[in-house]
A and B are shown apart, each in its own frame.
Chain A
Amino acid sequence: DTAVSQTPKYLVTQMGNDKSIKCEQNLGHDTMYWYKQDSKKFLKIMFSYNNKELIINETVPNRFSPKSPDKAHLNLHINSLELGDSAVYFCASSQALGALNTEAFFGQGTRLTVV
């Protein structure tokens, strides 16, 4: 039973298109995240949501819009895709903000390729 699941696993699309990546966690966590891993494998946080409320937005272009319909889901919508958006996007979740145990559980990643 997958703890953090993302779909799709692979996504190939043309420049200018709009696409979404979905994420669901069944761990009962309050906090969810999107991380971006670039071609050099550097991981950087993009967004953090706590109980459907945006907590962190790390100067991500506004073409990226996260949406959290409930605390178990955090989707990422990307408008007007650019070549530089090609990366692996990881969803993660952890227990409540401020909790001593801040261990994050990661999904398998979505490899986005913009052509």
Chain B
Amino acid sequence: AQSVTQPDIHITVSEGASLELRCNYSYGATPYLFWYVQSPGQGLQLLLKYFSGDTLVQGIKGFEAEFKRSQSSFNLRKPSVHWSDAAEYFCAVGAAGGGNKLTFGTGTQLKVEL
């Protein structure tokens, strides 16, 4: 069964600083990996996804993530954080053979200090 671990429950960064949110997955085959963002009281918005090919993927809002098979990781990065990036971030792994369901990590809450 697939699983996702987000080791950091809370992260606080200063505006303008760089950001890296960690995500480790467990899945027997080639995973489909996603990062979603949830702003307070809102639904989930897809930031980026990895299915195959280039292991460095670019997403919306200046985010990128790198798939590292050897480390079973898919960390999210942003070179310069904006105050509006404060939100909950979820990493997820999908499995086409498993009914297309997504298995989510427990989320990382990002706070941005001005």
Residues of B within 8 A of A41 (CB): 38, 88, 106-107
User: Which among A40, A56, A105, A107 is the interface contact of B101 at CB below 8 angstroms?
Assistant: A56
The answer to the question of B43 belonging to the interface, with a C-beta cut-off of 8 Å to chain A, is: yes
- Asked whether A48 and B104 contact (CB < 8 A) given A90-B43, A103-B46, A103-B49, the answer is no
Nearest opposing residue in chain B for A33, CB measure: B101
Asked if A40 and B44 make an inter-chain contact with CB atoms under 8 angstroms apart, the answer reads no
A78 to chain B, nearest CB (A): 20
The answer to the question of B71 belonging to the interface, with a C-beta cut-off of 8 Å to chain A, is: no
The answer to the question of A109 belonging to the interface, with a C-beta cut-off of 8 Å to chain B, is: yes
A103 to chain B, nearest CB (A): 6
Asked if A42 and B104 make an inter-chain contact with CB atoms under 8 angstroms apart, the answer reads yes
Range, interface on chain A: 20 to 34
CA distance in complex: A98, B94 (Å): 11
CA distance in complex: A102, B104 (Å): 14
Interface of B is mostly: strand
What string of 1s and 0s marks CB contacts (under 8 Å) between A42-65 and chain B? 111100101000011010000000
CA distance in complex: A48, B45 (Å): 19
B25 to chain A, nearest CB (A): 14
What string of 1s and 0s marks CB contacts (under 8 Å) between A90-110 and chain B? 100010011111111111110
Asked if A101 and B101 make an inter-chain contact with CB atoms under 8 angstroms apart, the answer reads no
CA distance in complex: A85, B73 (Å): 33
B positions within 8 Å CB-CB of A: 32, 34, 36, 38, 42-46, 49, 51, 88, 90, 94, 96-104, 106-107
A positions within 8 Å CB-CB of B: 31, 33, 35, 40-45, 48, 50, 55-56, 58, 90, 94, 97-109
| A-B residue pairs, 9 tightest by C-beta | A108-B43, A106-B44, A43-B104, A56-B99, A55-B99, A102-B94, A45-B101, A106-B43, A48-B99
